[in-house]
A and B are shown apart, each in its own frame.
Chain A
Amino acid sequence: MQKPILEVDGLKKYFDIKGGPIGRKVGEVKAVDDVSFTVMEGEILGIVGESGCGKSTTGKSILRLIEPTEGKVKFQDQDITSLTNSEMRRLRKDMQIIFQDPYASLNPRHTVEKIISEPLLVHGMTSAKQRLDRVGELLEVVGLSPYHAKRYPHQFSGGQRQRVGIARALANNPKLVICDEPVSALDVSIQSQILNLMEKLRDEFNLTYIFIAHDLSVVKHISDRIGVMYLGRMVELTEKNKLYDNPKHPYTQALLSAVPLPDPDMPRNRVILKGDVPSPANPPSGCAFHTKCPQAMDICKEVRPAFQPVEDNHFVACHLYK
């Protein structure tokens, strides 16, 4: 049986809203509001949701790139929320992140060699020769060539830059990689190259991914289990096929039906949601989705539904399933 590599329990991240002449706190944005899940070793957990649902904040809070407000994050049975900064830095060797924008996440004034070797240096590889060899090796792993090491990011295309970003993340043989929208900025034909590469690397290096994306078909393709987020909360979490064949939460149902499919013959029974997503600064009471939910009941306005299993391995936060 696999064991969990990461356990997130009751993670919360509130951002203060400052206002007034002296910048007092006037409110909070509940970017992540009580999210719990576990990630098994070697698994790819997808997290989907629309913009502003808190999926990226969740990813960054796990790495403590954003300090979580509350909650526990256990990585390999060690609670990392209480670690000091230097302990955390040592641990980040095992936990890496790939960012969305391959144009913004690489320093334009550094060569690729410097970009990839920096994490090596930080984590104690002091020999320049060794670092150079490792950079060449990593570039080959991600489908580039060692001679690319002397180049600058602007000399690469978007797909190639994302490969550099992946090479940097893999430099220290991490165990867990958080991928924050890694293919969203890429063209379709390049996107599939990167997805294939990521799957190959997972098998080769026995990695665990948390794959954050808004594109449901991409997440479906790569993930083993998928969590759906809405307004800072996890509303449904289950195995990929269960989620797509039998979505339980009304939000998941609407989200899945809204995806345009490149097939003119697919039946379209679309659930079109009315109105906009409410602001996370002022989320609706009870279930956050009740304002847009086609099946809302009275209880939904008052009581926040618990995130609980309704079937084996199928967690849903909805009053319809009790």
Chain B
Amino acid sequence: MAEIVLELKELHTHFFTESGEIPAVNGVSIKVHKGEVVGIVGESGSGKSVTSLSVMKLIPSPPGKIVSGEMNFKGENLVNASEKRMKKLRGNEISMIFQEPMTSLNPLFTIGNQLIEAIRLHQKITKKEARKKAVDMLQLVGIPRADEVAGEYPHQLSGGMRQRVMIAMAMSCDPELLIADEPTTALDVTIQAQILDLMRNLNKEEDTAILLITHDLGVVAEICDRVVVMYAGQIVEEGTTREILKDPEHPYTQGLIKSLPNMHEREQQLYSIPGVVPKPKMNSVGCHFAPRCEFAFERCFQENPGLYALGNQRQSRCFLHEDTEGKVKKHAKADIGS
């Protein structure tokens, strides 16, 4: 297996607010290998974005704080890294693309200037060379008239183009790891298809590892190799894309997939998970999903299940996996159709 680029071990990121401590990320462990695309899927409030911001150490502090755990990036534990060290890494070895292409570019500087700044911050090259590189990057991400666009301001570009610029900027220093936080959520489907296509190519050609945060299972199916499903600050299931989408084990994942409207069949009624996504709480008792789970039994309300290993990097957090012998038993399979 390829080398591990990023390994999160039992990461806890908590927010200390007036109304108490909130464990937004509550013991998350994820491995990302070289050249791999790993998706983190979850609904709002599941902690997926906080996980990615933790890796970049961009959690606003206070109120946020990485309480415990390890974040090993190529063997270096980032939890203890100084701000100076992080500045070296950010944008250079770890890059990030944000959801809002509208707000993540500075409206007062030209596209070229912003790219050149990012490039020259990490590479010792002249302005001229940097500009050439910036234009090359814009071409690489499929921007027509790249030379002219470099002299334009963000407001002159459409949403899809801005997101391409963000990707160009993120890729300009050949990062080992690209963190993409809902990169296509603000875009239209036809533009989304273009951007996903672009990311897939970059992943293949440059062998960049990608950590993709999304709520859209369709996007996951498009691009991810492996998927981690999060719920209320914890991982509830992990597996390959095929395993998660075709053969989900955790009742939450099953419900999530069943509640998607299907383009190719008509069911009279959509399955829906009752209740709402809970906010993570300190010292909560029992499985976080139990109040909404149709399989929940007494034990689920009393203790929180651990992750049951179901094979190679396949795990699920549910008591139903525990047989009398402690071995894995499968659930009633979700009928997700195809």
With most chain A CB atoms within 10 A of its CB, the pick from B188, B192, B217 is B188
A residues less than 8 Å from B196 (CB atoms)? 260
Docked Cα-Cα span, A220 to B264, in Å, equals 9
Q: Check A270 for interface membership: any CB of B closer than 8 A.
A: yes
State which residues 266-318 of B face A: CB under 8 Å: 266, 269-274, 276-277
Asked if B272 and A264 make an inter-chain contact with CB atoms under 8 angstroms apart, the answer reads: no
Tell me if A254 is interfacial: C-beta within 8 Å of chain B: yes
Known contacts A192-B261, A265-B338; A214/B194 CB under 8 A: no
Q: How far is A224 from B107 in the complex, measured between Cα atoms in Å?
A: 44
* B260 x A51 contact (CB < 8 A): no
The answer to the question of A320 belonging to the interface, with a C-beta cut-off of 8 Å to chain B, is: no
Q: Beta-carbon contacts of A200-216 to B below 8 Å, as 1s and 0s?
A: 00000000000000101
The reply to whether the CB of B127 lies closer than 8 angstroms to some CB of chain A is no
Q: Is A14 an interface residue (CB 8 A)?
A: no
Q: If the complex has contacts A157-B276, A273-B190, are A192 and B271 also in contact, measured as CB distance less than 8 A?
A: yes
What residues on A are CB-neighbors of B160 within 8 Å? 276
Tell me which of B190, B272, B274 contacts A255 (CB under 8 A).
B190
Q: Is residue B106 contacting chain A, with contact meaning CB distance below 8 A?
A: no
Complex contact B262–A217 (CB within 8 A): yes
Bound-state CA distance A276–B257 (Å) is 32
Give, as a whole number of angstroms, the nearest-CB distance from B19 to chain A: 14
A187 contact from B215, B270, B338, Cβ within 8 A:
B215
Chain A, interface size category, equals: 35 or more
**B190 x A263 contact (CB < 8 A):** no
Report A225 CB to chain B, min CB distance, Å: 14
Q: Is A277 an interface residue (CB 8 A)?
A: yes
B222 contacts the other chain (Cβ, under 8 Å)? yes
Contact: A189 with B218, CB < 8 Å? no
> Within the complex, what minimum Cβ distance (angstroms) separates B233 from chain A?
15
The stretch among B54-62, B113-121, B239-247 that forms the contact with chain A is B239-247
Is A21 engaged at the interface, CB distance under 8 Å to the other chain? no
Check A259 against B272 for contact (C-beta < 8 Å). Answer: no
Given the complex, which residues of A lie within 8 Å of B219, measured CB to CB?
Answer: 260
A218 touches B188 (CB 8 A): no
A159-B276, A262-B260, A272-B197 known; A196-B192 Cβ under 8 A = no
The 8 Å CB contact of B261, one of A190, A214, A220, A255, is: A220
Against B, the Cβ 8 Å flags (1 = close, 0 = not) of A243-284 are 010000000001101111111111000101101110000000
Residue of A nearest to B216 (CB): A260
For residue A125, CB closer than 8 A to chain B, the reply is no
Give per-residue flags for A140-158: 1 if the beta carbon is below 8 A from chain B beta carbons, else 0.
0000000000000000010
Report Cα–Cα, A321/B242, bound state, in Å. 40
Question: Are B218 and A259 in touch, CB under 8 angstroms?
Answer: yes
Q: How far is the CB of A224 from chain B (nearest CB, A)?
A: 11
The answer, yes or no, to whether A111 is at the interface (CB within 8 Å) is: no
Q: How far is the CB of A246 from chain B (nearest CB, A)?
A: 14
Say if the beta carbon of A91 comes within 8 Å of chain B.
no
What residues of chain A lie closer than 8 Å to B192, measured between beta carbons? 258, 260
**Chain A positions 279 through 298: 1 when the CB is less than 8 Å from some CB of chain B, otherwise 0:** 00000000000000000000
Residue numbers in A under 8 Å from B188 (CB-CB): 50-51, 214, 277
**Bound state CA distance, A159 and B272, in angstroms?**
12
Residues of A within 8 A of B218 (CB): 259-262
> Given the known A-B contacts A187-B277, A188-B259, A216-B189, are A264 and B241 also in contact in the complex, defined by CB atoms under 8 Å?
yes
Cβ of B43 under 8 Å from chain A: yes
B259 contacts A189, C-beta separation under 8 Å: yes
**Complex interface: chain B residues within 8 A of A273 (CB):** 190, 194
Q: Which of B314-338 contact A (CB under 8 A)?
A: 336, 338
State whether the Cβ of B168 lies closer than 8 Å to any Cβ in chain A. Answer: no
- With most chain A CB atoms within 10 A of its CB, the pick from B191, B246, B260, B262 is B260
Residue in A closest to B269 when the chains form the complex, CB atoms: A196
Q: Which of A190, A195, A257, A266 is B338 in contact with, Cβ under 8 Å?
A: A266
Are B190 and A258 in contact, with the CB atoms below 8 A?
Answer: yes
- Report B70 CB to chain A, min CB distance, Å: 30
Complex: how many Å from CA A276 to CA B188? 10
Q: Select which of A214, A262, A266, A270 is within 8 A of B193 by beta carbon.
A: A270
Task: State whether B263 touches A217 (Cβ < 8 A).
Answer: yes
Q: Would you call A191 an interface residue if the criterion is a C-beta within 8 Å of the partner chain's C-beta atoms?
A: yes
A272–B192 Cα distance when bound, in Å, is 10
Chain A residue, CB-CB nearest to B161? A276
B260 & A260 in contact (Cβ 8 Å cutoff): no
- B193 A189 Cβ-Cβ under 8 A: no
User: Which residues of B does A touch, CB under 8 Å?
Assistant: 43-44, 144, 158-161, 188-194, 196-197, 215-222, 241-242, 245-246, 255-257, 259-264, 266, 269-274, 276-277, 336, 338
- Other than the given A190-B276, A262-B260, 6 more pairs (CB < 8 A) read A157-B276, A189-B259, A192-B272, A220-B266, A262-B221, A272-B190
What 8 A-B pairs come out closest when comparing CB atoms? A260-B218, A221-B261, A262-B217, A50-B188, A192-B259, A258-B193, A187-B43, A192-B272
8 of the cross-chain contacts (CB-CB < 8 Å) are: A188-B217, A189-B255, A244-B264, A260-B219, A260-B222, A272-B190, A272-B193, A277-B188
- A residues at B contact (CB < 8 Å): 50-51, 157, 159-160, 187-193, 195-196, 199, 214, 216-218, 220-222, 244, 254-255, 257-266, 270, 272-273, 275-277
